[in-house]
Chains A and B, each alone.
Chain A
Amino acid sequence: MAKKLLGDPINRVDGALKATGRARYSGDIKRPGMLHGVLVMSTVANGKITAIDTAATLKLPGVVNVMTHLNAPKLAGIDKNKASEIATDRVLQLFQDDLVHYNNQPIAMVLADTLEQATEGASLVRVTYQIQPVKQPLPTGKADLATPKQLPRIDDQVDTKRGDLAAGLGAATQRIEATYTTPTMNHNALEPHALLAFWEGDKLTMYNATQGISGCQKRVAELFGMPKENVRVITQFLGGGFGSKGTTFSHVLLTPMAAKLVGKPVRLVLKREQMFGMVGNRSATEQTLTLATGNDGKLLATAHHSLVQTSDFDDFAEPAGTITRMLYACSNLDTTHKFIRANIGTPTPMRAPGEAPGVFALESAIDEMAAQLKMDPLAFRLANYAEKDPNKDKPFSSKSLRECYRQGAERFGWSKRPAEPRSLKNGHYLRGMGMGTTVYPMNRAESSALVRLKPDGTLQVETGTQDLGTGTFTIMTQIAAEVFGVSPDQVTLSAGDSIYPASSVSGGSRCTSSTGSAVEQAAREVLKKTKQLAFKDSKSPLFNVAEADIVAEKGGRLQQKSNPKIGESITNLLKRNGNNPVEATVQSKQGDEKEKYSMNAFGAVFAEVEVDELLGEVRVTRLLGSFAAGRIVNLKTARSQVLGGMVWAVSMALHEKTAFDMRTNRVMNANLAEYHVPVNADIREIDGFFIEEADDIVNPAGVKGIGEIGVVGTVAAIANAIYHATGHRFRDLPITVDKVLSLASR
């Protein structure tokens, strides 16, 4: 069957379970004799614990023990607890020493029969510190700039130079230079980080809310210094993660350590305020962009210098400048990354790490340049369209950005945008329109899957993937079903458990490209074996028909391509052949296509805003995104992904900011009442659609990532619309009431 480029919008396989509350998330799992853990967090940002008084806690009824650095089990693999090349392996706080590196760091765990007892117990632990001065995060802490050793994606160079920047600047007639700043942000998935851990002899089982079952298994095993086979990780459902559950953070080790200490199963669920530090954050950034063009609007020089922050004990560096290297044609380009060290929890990938803040800066600068040139922002982008990847100097496996621009602009009504800013009004509101290019690289990791064709003609897929809540479990059944031409409800999926074939992390929009490819390949392999069975079966109508001339058709039938009347049902074929299942396991990984091509999803986002300058209010009245991301397996779950991404961008543009008290580096809005994300009323008209794009090079599944692309260009589209509405440039996120007001009253 020919593949559909835009797959059926079927409902989620687990929709009913979730909607009726029957889905059991990691924090819902119980085990007889289980204790509840509650963490005690540091209240200073830098120093040493000189005393921990647990006497009052231990007197409380129900409290069993308090794990601190004084009694925590020692970890055999502790030498592995260091900065790593793998972005998701970070340095953890595992109660092996008395050091405090950031405020709100876990320093003890109270273990009790009930959650209430453990909670009360935690509030009674008294800690004394020897306090050191704090190293502040951005924007103030800029004393020591350093160049990171690497960026999270190991292939990305830290600094790049192309052509001759000075010559480009010299030849240019127009030039802008501007600095853009973005704040620290926290992921705040709806589901808190949670796990239940228990030991049976030297075997550990964990029900853990993780975006990467196999990475978690590996990391826990290596830190405990035990074989991977002894660790089982189960993640039946996830309530989001956005990157903060991609890394195996401290609590995932602390809980099995506690279970070992007390000899009982232990459950730990982080409180919301504990999710502002120990489970990662998006680094604040300060980015300076220089763009220069000739009078024709062709870019002659681009420079993008990024300053980010990391913790004082680890090296994660937000890769803000990487997209600037490849998005537009420009022969002279410099990009650099520097970071500062602060007493904060280590940053971690957060939905579109690097790309989201980086493209906000780039696409704002592009808009500024277009305005200076008095060119339409879309025309300016088209004038600098990159026909091949200027960074890698390689062709694109596919790129349908022109089509995204065209269809997006048409549906949005971009042609109605007056060139002059401040020219549209609606009552108290100034109205404006803006756009941004969006992009996300195709990432793919090793992943494996088993597909089994059963004698009754149904399919079984086994893969150790997890479903972030995005619909992974649903689309894996679709991918397998499509290979056989059967309906997805003929496919059962076994996943969410490390007993199944190891699968990639659900992060960097790589789950479908990696695990989807493994399922696709395994299904194809099974189909091939089935065809071979027919070929060899003298009783089959397809006896001696070449494999290439057999196709799977609707309803589980194999037939001859050149003569469709000849064929039989798969069940008949298997029945005659001993009623045995046919199965294949495939470990799928990237070939050399990466050496030959640049592979990316692209899109265009258009935004309309209304700004009440006197009250400082910004409302995003319309958002429309057009995306080209290869094959779309399920139009419904895919659209939800890009819409969700666009809502994230509204959040980043207008709402989100982790507010530090700079004297103590303590986060002062560590709750969802004061850490603002948009509510329904903030999202008015919003839509996203996909351009049909066939790409046979990119991976066997033919897909590119869609988890992050919705965020990337949308942030600048909103900021650019605010410029168009007001005539003021807002270069510091989030664009809140106070900022709008102060620019307006100038």
Chain B
Amino acid sequence: MKSFSYAQATKPADAVQLLGAQPQSKFIAGGTNLVDLMKYAVENPDRLVDISHLDLAKIEPANGGLRIGALARNSDVAANALVQKQFPLLAEALLAGASPQLRNMATMGGNLLQRTRCNYFYDVSQPCNKRTPGRDAGDAAFRPTGCGAIGGYNRIHAILGSSESCIATNPSDMNVALAALDAVVQVTGPNGSRSIPILEFHRLPGTTPQRDTVLEDNELITAIDLPTSAVGGKSHYLKVRDRASYAFALVSVAARLVTQNGMIREARIALGGVAHKPWRLPVVEQTMVGKPATEATFRTAAQALLAGAKPHEHNAFKIQLAENAIIRALQTVSS
């Protein structure tokens, strides 16, 4: 790990200012992802700005829904009565992630920004377009860029929305639930504040896989807003993984469904573990409205969501798995 300096921010505006004051600065919240990445020399900040003391950890009603502070801990959010009552899907997804110890440290903002678990991204001896986007001519020992995972060991990689530069996935469980809940991310920066709908927050890799999200380097996430859906309905977070707990999702599904007399009134389906961002296609959800809540409808929707899926050497199973998981999750919320 490279030596770094440390500063603590007490107000959001100070945090943004501190970050801008020195290049190569990074916010640190729970540190559960950033510190690991620093140990592996994937992230090498010169300065850490500690935001964990900011007064941004509240969970409060807002506009009929909830506003969750960016520094609320994952475990506190999952245990919160308002969250459990109004948005059990979020609580379920948070509890499916990591371990109790990690959830006690991990924050909502940090979880939104947690980086891919791509094996090559984590190993600085390996080529990776996300970690090392351009050749640095000044350093002779700099490795040529490229994507190690393409043609390599890619069991956990993306089947949807990937590019020739990068086939990484977003590893978060929380993000998948947020996508199905139409969350809105509140951010503030040197140029003021803005609101970013969750589906626009994370991005596909394209030719610039170094950018996971549309957040600017100097912007601070302050809160996540969860709007109330027009109708209630049931929700479920289904996570398929290599062991019963404490493993990232191979595939996950956040599903919400409102049915009336066996007919679908409203549907939300977001997939995790398959793409560089939570995978949601509102057009597919719209086609489900008015159809019977049957396996046939669910299968058609699943196949539409997975249309264009492109497997690599070791992850072709994810296509079938995702289809099965979508159907199972929808059956669970329709029964």
Q: How far is it, in angstroms, between the C-alpha of A681 and the C-alpha of B141 when the chains are bound?
A: 45
Q: Is the CB of A120 within 8 A of B2?
A: yes
- In angstroms, how far is the closest chain B Cβ from the Cβ of A658? 11
Whether a CB of chain A sits under 8 angstroms from the CB of B1 is yes
Q: In the complex, how many residues of chain A place their beta carbon closer than 8 angstroms to a beta carbon of chain B?
A: 39
Within the complex, what minimum Cβ distance (angstroms) separates A634 from chain B?
Answer: 31
User: Which of B122, B156, B328 makes the CB contact (< 8 A) with A614?
Assistant: B328
Q: A659-B155, A663-B151 are in contact. Are A668 and B3 (CB under 8 A)?
A: no
Q: Which residues of B contact A501 (CB under 8 A)?
A: none
Within 8 Å of chain B (Cβ to Cβ): is A619?
A: yes
Confirm or deny: A48 has a beta carbon within 8 angstroms of a beta carbon on chain B: no
Q: Is the C-beta of A229 less than 8 angstroms from some C-beta in chain B?
A: no
A660 touches B153 (CB 8 A): yes
Contact partners of B120 in chain A: CB under 8 A: 668
Are B243 and A678 in contact, with the CB atoms below 8 A?
yes
**Given A676-B247, A679-B246, A738-B155, A616-B321 contact (CB < 8 Å):** yes
Are A668's CB and B240's CB within 8 A? no
Q: Provide the residues of chain A in CB contact with B151, threshold 8 Å.
A: 663
Report the Cα distance A616→B246, complex, angstroms: 17
Complex contact A738–B240 (CB within 8 A): no
Cα distance, A745 to B3, chains bound together (Å) = 52
Instruction: Please tell me if A43 contacts chain B, counting CB pairs below 8 Å.
Output: yes
Answer whether A679 and B243 are a contact pair too, CB < 8 Å, given A661-B148, A737-B317.
yes
The proximity string for A residues 31-43 relative to B, scoring 1 for CB distances below 8 Å and 0 otherwise, is: 0000000000001
Question: In the complex where A668-B123, A676-B243 touch, is A661 in contact with B153 (Cβ < 8 A)?
Answer: yes
User: Among A119, A659, A741, which residue has its beta carbon within 8 angstroms of that of B153?
Assistant: A659
CB distance from B142 to the nearest CB of A (A): 10
> A126 vs B152: C-alpha distance in the bound complex, in angstroms?
24
Are A673's CB and B117's CB within 8 A?
yes
Q: Which residues of A from 120 to 154 have beta carbons under 8 Å from B?
A: 120, 123, 126, 128
Q: Mark B1-25, 1 if CB is under 8 A from A, else 0.
A: 1110000000000000000000000
Q: Taking each of A119, A614, A654, A676, which has the highest tally of chain B beta carbons within 10 Å of its own beta carbon?
A: A614
Task: Kindly state the separation between the CA atoms of A669 and B154 in the bound complex, as whole angstroms.
Answer: 11
Q: Of all chain B residues, which has the CB nearest A125?
A: B141
Contact of B317 among A116, A128, A616, A676 (CB under 8 A): A616
B64 to chain A, nearest CB (A): 35
Q: Are B242 and A736 in contact (CB under 8 A)?
A: yes
What is the CA–CA distance of A736 and B3 in the complex, to the nearest angstrom? 40
Does B296 make an interface contact (CB < 8 A)? no
Q: Roughly how many angstroms separate A681 CA and B122 CA in the complex, as a whole number?
A: 27
With contacts A663-B152, A668-B123, A679-B243 taken as known, whether A674 is within 8 angstroms of B117 at the C-beta atoms is yes
Check B242 against A737 for contact (C-beta < 8 Å): yes
Min CB distance, A612 to chain B, in Å? 9
- Chain B, residues 234-265, CB within 8 Å of chain A (1/0): the string is 00000011111111101000000000000000
Which of B141, B153, B240 has the most chain A CB atoms inside 10 A of its CB?
A: B153
B220 within 8 A of A: no
**At the interface, yes or no: A666 with Cβ under 8 Å from chain B?**
yes
Rounded to whole Å, the gap between the CB of A744 and the closest CB of chain B is 9
| Beta-carbon contact of B152 and A738 below 8 Å | no
> Is there an interface contact between A745 and B242, defined as CB atoms closer than 8 Å?
no
- A666 B126 Cβ-Cβ under 8 A: yes
Interface presence of A615 (CB below 8 A):
yes
| A673 CA to B115 CA, complexed, in Å | 14
Q: Is B114 an interface residue (CB 8 A)?
A: no
Question: Are the CB atoms of A666 and B243 closer together than 8 Å?
Answer: no
Residues B152 and A617 in contact, CB atoms below 8 Å apart? no
Q: A655-B243, A737-B317, A741-B321 are in contact. Are A661 and B152 (CB under 8 A)?
A: yes
| A222 sits at the interface (CB 8 A) | no
* Distance (whole angstroms) from the CB of B46 to the closest CB of chain A: 13
Tell me whether A116 and B247 are in contact in the complex, defined as CB-CB below 8 angstroms, given that A659-B155, A668-B153, A737-B240 are known contacts. no
Closest chain-A Cβ to B2's Cβ sits at a distance in Å of 6
Q: For chain A residues 621-669, which have a beta carbon within 8 Å of chain B?
A: 654-655, 659-661, 663, 666, 668-669
In the complex, which of the residues A120, A666, A671, A738 contacts B125, with contact meaning CB atoms closer than 8 Å?
A666
Nearest CB on B from A324, distance (A): 31
The minimal Cβ–Cβ distance linking A684 to chain B, given in whole angstroms, is 9
Find out whether the CB atom of B244 lies under 8 angstroms from the CB atom of A123.
no
Identify which of B3, B243, B328 gathers the most chain A CB atoms within 10 Å of its CB.
B243
With both beta carbons as reference points, the residue of chain A lying nearest to B143 in the complex is identified as A43
Which 9 pairs of residues, A with B, have the shortest CB-CB distance?
A43-B125, A681-B244, A738-B317, A681-B245, A668-B119, A126-B141, A614-B324, A668-B153, A661-B152
Give me the interface of A with B, judged by CB distance under 8 Å.
43, 53, 116, 119-120, 123, 126, 128, 428, 614-617, 619, 654-655, 659-661, 663, 666, 668-671, 673-674, 676, 678-682, 736-738, 741-742, 745
Give 15 CB contacts A-B under 8 Å.
A120-B1, A126-B140, A615-B325, A616-B240, A668-B120, A674-B119, A676-B243, A678-B244, A679-B244, A680-B245, A737-B321, A738-B314, A741-B317, A741-B321, A741-B324
A663-B152, A745-B320 given. 8 additional CB < 8 A pairs?
A53-B141, A428-B328, A615-B240, A616-B317, A666-B125, A679-B246, A681-B246, A682-B243
